[in-house]
């Protein structure tokens, strides 16, 4: 007789057999939804990228709504890494477990990668997304090798070129009869009449010359060679006497041609220029050697510039310069340094440099003040734009692009400054990308993140956290 299974018992068996299948299927489905490596949604503040949360909310700094981070932004978030450090010498660090130089086990600690790369106390690495960079107006520049030129700006007082001055004098006593250059500042050309004088000595010298010429003419047909030579020498000596008294060749020839003595002798301009000084008037009693007037050639002028002690290493004879006037800012006058004073003014602690400036249009006048810019070539150097350099107390630093959106505060040493660049002495290399705009916004974020790291239990601004030794 065949035994028959109880229908209730059969239902229970079938149900118990089906339960594992359903459970396995559900677990497999959940595994697909929560597979390892999936990114959880992370929120951050658009204005303060250092503020990051795994939940939606408001920024504790500005109160703005936190927004989800995109895929590129999430990749820029720093992550932690385990390092190992000596308990006796904290500066002895390794990325692998082991013993230190004293044979003691090194202890692990966690480092937030990116933040620990900062070499500036009180600053932390910040991660700024492309969207935030565009909002901030952040731009990057490059550390590059270029020729640097040091610019020294100072004032220059225009004076006449002392090598282009001429004093008008006479070598005999007399009186001024007529004055042609009667106004100070009057322009004259070489050969223009300046004044006429009456001098008994000149009258006597002219008469001697006329007599010597007549005597030479009388003895020209004489058979006595010595007499002819004596008459010739006397005429030559009389002419030379007039020449030594600065009587012009034209005047002497006129006296020789006419045989007439001229009562008044004309004094002509020895050079072209401007009468900058006049010491006589008509009727003035002249003395031999007296300076009657001074003529200056102003087509070239000098400038006296005051140089501070800090700029002395960059000032040398022959260096180029430009001088500009406040009312002619678009017309620079080019020149060069021709002399540097060997002594310092004890009152102003400055040194005087003499500038030579061509002035063909006579726009530069003695007594004027202009703005001088001296250019000293520093040679080819590795340079960084001045906009990228930050100064904070004893530290000088720049924000270097670390990739993946990270900006790393990097301590640097700069040298001479020239044409908008600083020489990089240490801290950066040629080709490094650095922040050149919105630096102060980045600096604020970096300082704030360092402070938050310190308050949230981090070791300090470098975001290093000490852990217990591994058992």
Least confident stretch, 305-309, 408-412, 414-418, 456-460: 456-460
Task: Enumerate residues 6+ apart whose C-beta is below 8 A from 304.
Answer: 156, 157, 159, 352, 353, 354, 355
How far is C-alpha 359 from the geometric centre of its chain's CA atoms? 26
Q: Would you state the pLDDT for residue 8?
A: 39
Residue ranges of E strands in 369-411:
369-385, 390-392, 395-403, 406-411
Angle at which helix 249-258 crosses helix 200-218, to 10 degrees, equals 50
More confident residue, 37 or 125: 125
Rounded CA gap, 467 and 82, in Å? 10
Rounded CA gap, 374 and 379, in Å? 16
At residue 22, does pLDDT exceed 60?
no
Query: What digits encode the pLDDT tens for the residues 136-165?
Result: 899 999 999 999 988 899 999 999 999 999
Q: Would you state the pLDDT for residue 254?
A: 92
DSSP bridge partners of 67: 44
User: Which token pair is 103?
Assistant: 């044979």
The confidence band for 455, taking pLDDT boundaries of 50, 70 and 90, is low
- Among residues 52, 102, 57, 104, which one has the least CA distance to residue 78? 52
151-161+298-378: which CATH topology? Elongation Factor Tu (Ef-tu); domain 3 (2.40.30)
**Phi, psi dihedrals of residue 399, rounded to the nearest 5°:** -100, 115
Domain ranges for the chain: 43-116, 126-148+381-466, 151-161+298-378, 169-296
Task: Enumerate residues 6+ apart whose C-beta is below 8 A from 300.
Answer: 161, 164, 356, 357, 358, 359
Rounded CA gap, 454 and 446, in Å? 12
pTM, to two decimals: 0.59
Place of tokens 């060069």: 336
Q: CATH for 126-148+381-466?
A: 2.40.420.20
Rounded CA gap, 279 and 139, in Å? 67
Rounded CA gap, 93 and 44, in Å? 32
At residue 372, does pLDDT exceed 90?
yes
Which of these CATH numbers, 3.40.50.1820, 1.10.274.10, 3.40.50.300, 2.40.50.100, describes 169-296?
Answer: 2.40.50.100
Q: What is the mean pLDDT of the chain?
A: 81
Least confident stretch, 80-94, 197-211, 228-242: 80-94
Three-class secondary structure of residue 42 per DSSP: coil
More confident residue, 454 or 440: 440
Query: What digits encode the pLDDT tens for the residues 383-419?
Result: 999 999 999 888 899 999 988 888 999 999 999 888 8
Q: How crowded is residue 156: how many other Cβ atoms within 10 Å of its Cβ?
A: 27
Q: Would you state the pLDDT for residue 40?
A: 63
Overall average pLDDT of the 261-268 stretch: 91
More confident residue, 312 or 222: 312
Query: What digits encode the pLDDT tens for the residues 427-448?
Result: 999 999 999 999 899 998 888 8
Q: How crowded is residue 75: how many other Cβ atoms within 10 Å of its Cβ?
A: 13
Q: Would you state the pLDDT for residue 246?
A: 86
More confident residue, 428 or 82: 428
H or E stretch covering 467:
none
Rounded CA gap, 141 and 434, in Å? 5
Q: Would you state the pLDDT for residue 220?
A: 82
Three-class secondary structure of residue 365 per DSSP: coil
Query: What digits encode the pLDDT tens for the residues 160-199?
Result: 999 999 999 999 999 999 999 999 999 999 999 999 999 9
Least confident stretch, 39-43, 119-123, 149-153: 39-43
At residue 74, does pLDDT exceed 70?
no
């Amino acid at each position: 007789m065949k035994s028959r299974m109880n229908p209730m018992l059969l239902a229970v068996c079938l149900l118990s057999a089906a339960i594992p299948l359903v459970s396995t299927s559900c677990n497999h489905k959940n595994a697909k939804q929560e597979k390892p490596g999936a990114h959880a949604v992370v929120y951050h503040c658009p204005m303060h990228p250092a503020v990051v949360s795994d939940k939606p909310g408001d920024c504790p700094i500005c109160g703005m709504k936190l927004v989800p981070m995109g895929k590129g932004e999430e990749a820029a978030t720093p992550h932690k890494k385990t390092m190992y450090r000596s308990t006796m010498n904290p500066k002895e660090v390794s990325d692998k477990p082991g013993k230190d130089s004293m044979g003691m086990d090194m202890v692990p600690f966690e480092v937030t990668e990116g933040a620990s790369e900062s070499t500036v106390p009180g600053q932390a690495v910040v991660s700024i997304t492309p969207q935030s960079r565009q909002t901030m107006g952040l731009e990057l520049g490059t550390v590059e090798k270029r020729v640097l030129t040091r610019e020294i700006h100072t004032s220059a007082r225009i004076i006449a070129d002392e090598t282009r001055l001429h004093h008008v004098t006479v070598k005999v006593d007399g009186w001024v009869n007529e004055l042609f250059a009667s106004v100070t500042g009057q322009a004259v050309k070489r050969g223009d009449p300046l004044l006429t004088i009456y001098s008994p000595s000149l009258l006597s010298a002219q008469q001697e010359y006329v007599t010597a010429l007549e005597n030479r003419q009388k003895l020209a047909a004489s058979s006595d060679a010595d007499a002819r030579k004596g008459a010739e020498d006397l005429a030559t000596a009389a002419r030379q006497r007039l020449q030594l008294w600065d009587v012009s060749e034209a005047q002497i020839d006129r006296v020789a041609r006419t045989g007439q003595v001229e009562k008044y002798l004309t004094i002509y301009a020895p050079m072209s220029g401007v009468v900058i000084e006049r010491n006589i008037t008509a009727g003035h009693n002249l003395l031999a050697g007296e300076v009657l007037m001074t003529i200056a050639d102003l087509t070239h002028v000098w400038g006296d510039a005051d140089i501070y002690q800090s700029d002395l290493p960059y000032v040398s004879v022959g260096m180029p310069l430009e001088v500009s006037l406040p009312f002619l800012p678009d017309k620079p006058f080019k020149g060069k340094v021709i002399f540097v004073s060997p002594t310092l003014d004890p009152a102003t602690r400055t040194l005087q440099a003499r500038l030579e400036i061509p002035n063909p249009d006579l726009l530069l006048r003695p007594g004027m003040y202009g703005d001088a810019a001296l250019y000293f070539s520093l040679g080819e150097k590795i340079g960084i734009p001045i906009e990228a350099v930050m100064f904070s107390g004893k530290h000088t630093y720049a924000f270097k692009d670390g990739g993946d959106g990270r900006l790393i505060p990097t301590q640097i040493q700069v040298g001479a400054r020239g044409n908008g660049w600083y020489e990089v002495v240490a801290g950066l290399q040629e080709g490094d990308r650095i922040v050149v705009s919105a630096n102060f916004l980045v600096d604020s974020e970096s300082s704030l993140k360092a402070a938050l790291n310190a308050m949230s239990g981090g070791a300090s601004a470098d975001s290093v956290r000490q852990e217990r030794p591994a058992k």
